[in-house]
Amino acid sequence: MRRLFFISLAILFLCAVMANAAEMEKMKIAVASSNKTAKASVSNKAAKCPYYLIFDGEGKLTGVIDNPYGDASGGAGPSAANFLAREGVIIVIAGNFGSKMINTLEDSGIAHFEFKGSVGDAVKRALERQ
Tens digit of each residue's pLDDT (9 = 90 or more) over 78-107: 999 999 999 999 999 999 999 999 999 999
Four-residue CA torsion sign, 60, 123, 81, 73: negative
- Residue 65: band (very low, low, confident or very high) from pLDDT cuts 50, 70, 90: very high
| 2: number of Cβ within 10 Å | 6
* Topology annotation, domain 27-129: Nucleotidyltransferase; domain 5 (3.30.420)
Whether 36 and 53 have beta carbons less than 8 Å apart is answered as: yes
Element (H, E) at 7: helix 2-26
Whether 92 and 32 have beta carbons less than 8 Å apart is answered as: yes
d(CA 71, CA 118): 23
* pLDDT number for residue 23: 45
pTM recorded for the entire structure: 0.80
Residue 33 has φ and ψ, to the nearest 5°, of -135, 155
14-64 pLDDT per residue, tens: 544 444 444 444 699 999 999 999 999 999 999 999 999 999 999 999 999
